[in-house]
Structure formats: structure tokens, C-alpha cells
Structure 1
Amino acid sequence: MALFHWDRSRKLRAAPKLRMLHLRPTPFKKMRVKLATQVMSRSVAAAMVLYADLDILPPESRETAAALLKLNDLLDVLNSSSRLAKCFHKRAISQIKPVTAEKHLQLLREADQWLGKWVVGDGSVRVHSIGGLRQTIRGVQSVWDRCVEAGCEFLCTRRLNQDPLENMFGMIRQRGGCMDNPDPTQFRHGYKHVVINHMMAAPPTANCEADSDGLIVGLNMTAARPERASARPMARLRSDDRVMPEPKVVLDVPVDEVTANCLSYVAGYLVHKANVVCRNCERALVRVDSEVRATADVLTALKSHTGVTKCDVGSLKLPSAVLFEFVRECCVSFSVHARSMLFETKILERLVRCVLASKPATVLASQLRCHPRVLTGIAARYMRLMPVSEKWPVSKFS
């Protein structure tokens, strides 16, 4: 609750998915597993450690963060769906890589012993979900032993839960007009209809996560679908737009340490989405090494797959000093100008022009010779992210 209290009022949040609904769910929302997994996640643990390092939260919050991290790793191992996942714990238990399988099994054994030490209240209260989770852990180990005996190379633990069944049969029932008991012919036609029309994904309000089976979900529709306008990159900015005067370039505005950490993490995410191919251009945007040297890189290191206790960003990217200043200009420009332009037109183009006129943009533009439009795309993507985080009308920035 203290983490949510300090984080909710910020423009850039260290735990952006955390809402009051997670902490005080309604009776119906308590049945949604998705809300529980979002609380027991690496992002919440990283935010808690960051606030503890800055003396905003008490030092005891580190123990809570360590417990959340253990639960996050356990849930990742119990929901693996690929042998080549970037996150180590999300990789399938495989005989091809014995080191991965041994570490996963060791984590399951340690988690079983750790859950056995839990005491709720005065010890007289029995929580059935804890016993069910321990039974699931032992069941996965037993299934893997049988797979080894049968000669199976790997085991995707997500295939053992009921989410894929709920997704498939739920969508088939909807396509058939709420058929609770279809005959074989109706089931076959419904299954073909669901697969061909790319409908095997669960809706956003569903209790279970979407099944990422590439053989089923990866099928495209037989007819070509036009690309949505919001999914396309921002069109080329026209210099003849004289609808409203351009906003002035904002002077230097200081940001606190929490915002600086969030900006560093967002900057690395924007570079990842930019898909820069040229090595020289990538050096201008990303730091060559992956070691945490500044206080603004702590959140990125905490969110990496290498773990909260290690100072290595892993698969994430650390922005260069110039790119960090450019993203900082995006943050300040949006905070100063966006609210005053809410009822005007072409807000996105005008905000991007304001950022491109700043000094960091000029320095980066001279180095990005192979990708001259990268800065425009980064600024536009950042401006589109902000209305979602602040619950503003997204159509104004699309």
C-alpha cells in the first residue's frame, strides 16, 4: 500500500500496472488470477527496491520485494511456453540444456520448502491455495520424470494448466451461439471457424492469459486485413501546417531520482522498438556496455532478467547520455504543453516538433545519418504512451 501511495501521483511510474483494484479487489475481481500475478511481479519488486534505496520506503520492504521476486520466478517456471524465451525462468524444462532443467527443478524444490514454512495469522488458519500450489509444484516434477522416461526432450509447463482449454472451448462456445453441449459436427465447424479467423486469443477481460501457441494463434485470416491507422508509424510531418502556433522549447526543468530511473527504462524500451540496424547509429542511442554506472540505471537493472541483486541489465538496453536527455525533453514538453493543447488539433505533431527543436535532438540528428527518422518515431511513440498512463483521450494523440 505504501508503494502504491508514493507511486500513483507520478507522471512516470515505476510500477505502472499497479492500481487500487489490485490492493482492494471486489469479490468478483478476487477470482482473477491476472491481478494476483501482476502484484507478485518483477516490476513491483523492482519498484519496491528502488524506493527503498532512495529511503522513501523503509528497509524492511526489501524482504517483501525478495518474496515477490521468488513468487514471480516460480510463476514463470510454471508457465513456460517456449524453449527460446528471453527470460531464463520462462524457458521450457529441457533435456537439450541440462543446466536449464536442473536450475528449474532446483527452484521448484526450494519453492516447495519455502511455501511449507508459511504461517498465516496465528498458525490455526489453513489456506488451501498454498497447499494447492505445493501440490502443483510436485505434480510438475512428477510429470517431468515421466517425460524423461518416455524420451521427451522438453516440457512447456503452460500446457499443463487449464488456460488453453478455457480459451479454446470458450471461443468455440461463443462462435456457436452459446452451445454448451455441441455434437461432433458442430464442434468441428466451430473449431475451424475459430482457427481461420484468428480468434483463439482470450479477451482483455478474461481471467486467463492468452495462449501463445504459434501453430494456432499464429494463423492469419484468409482475407487481407487493412492496417489500422493507430498501428502505423506517424506520417511525415508537414512543414505547411499553420493551424496553431508551435509551443516554445522548455527550459531546463530538474527531475527527481525516481523519474530519472523511469526515463532511463523507457528510453531503452523506445530504442528497442525503433529497430535500429546500423551499428554506428546504435552506438549513438545505446551504451556499449551493460553495467550500471549511474543512479538513473538502477530501475533498469532491477527489472532485468538477471535478478534484483545483480548490477547487470541483461537483455534490456541502457540509453546513451544524449538519448536520455532527449527522452527527458519529451517528458518535460508533454508535462508542460499537452494539457493546454488538449482541445486543439494536431497535438502529436506539434509536441514532436517542439522536442525536435531541442539541443539533444540536434546532437543526435547529426549522428543518426542512416536513420534520420528515428528521433521522430521515438518522440511520437513516447507521446502516445503518456495519454495511456494518465488516462487521457488517446484519439487526441493518434
Structure 2
Amino acid sequence: MHFSMMRDLIEIMSSRFFAKALHLDSAAVDKLLSFLAYLVEWEVYVAENWRQAKNEGRAEKRGRFLSESTAVGLRVTIASVLSLLDYLSQQLAYKFIMTSRLSQDPAENFFGIARQSSGCNTHPTPQQFLITVSCLSFYSLAKSVSHGNAEPDILTALLGADAAGGDDRSKQFLLDQLIADGDLCSAELALNSIEKAAPDHVACVSAKSDERLIFYVAGYVARKFLAKTSCDACKNVLLADKNDIKNLQAAQLTQLKDNGGLLYPSGFLFRFLKNLENLFTGCFSAQELHHESIMDVIWLIKSRPQDRVGCTDHAEMLTAKMVAFFITTRLHFFVKSLNRARMQKRETAKYLKLSRCT
């Protein structure tokens, strides 16, 4: 019985997919409650045996209970998971919890910030800790200090579940509300004011891609669509003679990589894709990637007037296909770069941790 309950506990507390997730009305909840009751019975049984052995003057070695710290930690962990499940299910309409995703890293990050905020005193007293927390509340609850041991990013450990994504006074909410009300003029003014505002943090600075890379990619796009169209007028709009752009700075990378097989896009196609790239980089410089990011980019493109590529008969269809192809391709490489950066960050953190242990 003991080993089966321990096996069930480990399985419940390390669920990684939906079939093993923790639901409010699942049998796993009953097993956790039963395990808490089992800990109480186990502790009472061992204490009674030790008391009886002491009265009889003999040493009791048949059974021992967990250490005090282990028992308290186990009870707190299970009770915290059950309380969190009840709160998320009742208050935030969550359907399940992947228990393997539960982590105390945000709390440890905050305590690390509090320790490092005291300078060389990395072990503050309770009074110093409370003073530091009070100072952080004035500094900002949502931004970490610049000299702490946590990354300079959004600190959501001190924010509630409803406040972590921002409140109704945020700029994004204001824009969404103006657009929903149909007040496009006010929305445009608000958007322009946000774009012209001086950024407070590096993450708010709009990124720009190198024109030489855009020109190189534009040649790739031209090659893709030359094979899909039979209209000579559309083909002439896509390509340019490489002898006419020898002194063009944007064509330097293409000329360097050209061994005779690269295509040179026309100036019109280059400007068209450059505009799309600026909208793409501007969008993801202002907000993080999420499951509806492609809809944000498409909405941004539709809200800005765009020139059409191709002849009068095929311009609308060719432009739509080109926008879809470019955004899909660009998003693919953008996600790939984010994954690569995330993996490099993990490797760096792993080696840093190993260096501290040696």
C-alpha cells in the first residue's frame, strides 16, 4: 500500500500531458487527499509505538516517520497544489493543471532581487527585507531592478493572475477599445503617439532589418513567383537587370553571393517587401510572439495602404499571394531564431551553473 501510494503521488505531481493532468473532479484529487490522511495516520502510528516502547523500557526500531522538515514540505506541497487547483478552476475557469509545470522559480527570482538590492549584504534581516520590498513597490512591481541576479524582464511574481497581462488602462487596451467603437481617427492618433514616444526600455525599441538582407530575400521571392506566373508584364515588374544596379548599396550582399544563379528584384518589388519587413519587425518589436501573432501582422498590413505588384489583371491576386508567402516565410524564420536563442540561453545557464559548482 505504501509503495503504491508513493507511485501514485509521483505520477500525479509530474503530469506532463492532458490525459494525466490534474482535474478538479478527477480521482487524482482524492488520491492526494488520501495521501495527506495517510501521513497523519502514519505519524500517529509511529508516535504511539514509540510511546509504548518507551513505557515498556525497550527500543523501538520497527518503524520511523519522515523527518519534520520533509513531512512539513510534503504536506505544504500537496496542500498548495490542491489550493491552486481549486483557485484556478473556480476563479479563473481553468480546466486542468499540468503539475510538472508548477515551479517556484518566480518566487526565487524575487527573493534574489531582494537579496541583491541590499548591496554586499546578501542575507538581509527580516526588517531589511521588508524595507527592500517597500522600496521595490515604489521602484516598480512589474520591473526587476537593474543590478539584481534576475534578468531585466517583466517580474510577474508579485502580480495577480488578472493583472499579469495588463490592466484596462494599458495602451493596447485603449487602442482595441477605440477600434471596437469604430473611432478610427482617435485610434490612429493614439497609435502615432505611441510610435513617437521615447522608449523607456530596450525591448520597446523598434527593430529594423538590413536592406541588403531584404534585397537578397526579395530575389528569392521573385524566383518563387516567376515560376507561378505566365504573364510577361508581371515578370517584368518582379525582375531588374543586374547591370543597372551595380552601384546600389542594398544589392551588395546579393552581388557578393552571386555565382551566376541569383536573381535581382526590381526596385518596386524591393520597396514593397521592405515595407512589409518594416511592418513585421515593428509589430514584433512592440509585442511578444503568441498564437494569434500572424493575425496581428495581417491586421497591421491591412491598416496601411499598400502598392500592388503585377499588371492590372493579376495585381490583386499576385499581391495577396506574395504577402501571404512573405509573412509565412518570415514568421517561420523568426520563430526559428527565437528557439535558437532560447536554446543558447539554456546552454549558457547550464554551463554557468556548472562553473559555480566546481
On whether the aligned pair clears a TM of 0.5, the verdict is no
TM-score norm. by structure 2 comes to: 0.32
TM-score norm. by structure 1 comes to: 0.29
Higher RCO (Cα < 8 Å, 6 or more apart)? 1
Higher-helix-fraction structure = 2
